Amino acid sequence: MENEAGALSRVAGLFSARGYNIESLSVAPTEDPTLSRMTVVTIGSDEVVEQVTKQLNKLIEVVKIIDLNEGNHIERELMLVKVRAIGSDREEIKRLVEIFRGCIIDVTDKSYTIELTGTSSKLDAFLEAVERSAVLETVRTGASGIGRGEWILKV
């Protein structure tokens, strides 16, 4: 979409006005600074997704829209999670972070801050693997998606 003030609120407003769900939404400018790329995750029947797509297309600032689910695609989400890490838990958590291929990016003698990327379900799995009471704070970006292979989204 055009990288213009208000474009994001048009998208968000459309979802709430028409009663569609937004699971997550992530947006940032692209290599072309006049364009932003947004990944929206929504849940609905095929008919609803078709309507969402058509309605988004009507927004003047939306340049192009693709349904990534129609082809093979990759999606990743970033999560920062602060966990309590004391005594023997410190080693256990470190091992868990390795298994999930994350990294510890900030340390105090009582806590770790962990960076983890992956699909949303992988991030969920990590949070389940860590003892619930140990999780102090999480922040997630929502998914970003891109098509697989040489296919690209051209405007």
Partner 1 sequence: MSVELTGAEITIRCLQEEGVHCIFGYPGGAVLFIYDELFKQDKVRHILVRHEQAAVHAADGYARSSNNVGVALVTSGPGVTNAVTGIATAYMDSIPMVIISGQVPTSAIGLDAFQEVDTVGITRPCVKHNFLVKDITELAQTIKKAFYIASTGRPGPVLVDIPKDVSQQKTKFAYPDKITMRSYNPVTKGHSRQIKRAAELILSAKRPVIYAGGGVILSDAAPQLTELVQMLNFPCTNTLMGLGGYPATDKQSLGMLGMHGTYEANMAMQYCDVLVAVGARFDDRVIGNPKHFSNENRKIIHIDIDPSSISKRVKVDVPIVGDVLDVLKELIKLLKAGKEKPDQVALKEWWKQIELWRERDCLKYDRESKIIKPQMVIEKLFNITKGDAFITSDVGQHQMWAAQFYKFDKPRRWINSGGLGTMGFGMPAAMGVQLANPKGKVACITGEASIQMCIQELSTCKQYKLPLKIVNLNNRYMGMVRQWQEFFHGNRYAESYMNALPDFVKLAESYGHIGMKIERPEDVEGALKEAFKLKDQLVFMDFITDQTENVFPMVPGGKGLSEMILV
Q: Which of 10/94 has CB closer to partner 1? A: 10
Q: Which of 1/143 has CB closer to partner 1? A: 1
Q: Report which of 93, 136, 140 is spatially closest to residue 121, judged by C-alpha positions.
A: 140
CB of 38 to partner 1, least distance (A): 13
Site residues (vs partner 1, CB under 8 A): 1-2, 5-6, 9-10, 13, 17, 47, 50-51, 54-55, 57-58, 60-63, 155
Residue 101: left if φ>0, alpha if ψ -120 to 50, beta else—which one? left
- Which residues have CB under 8 Å from 17's CB, separation 6+? none
CB of 27 to partner 1, least distance (A): 15
Backbone angles phi, psi at 113, to 5 degrees: -110, 125
CB of 5 to partner 1, least distance (A): 8
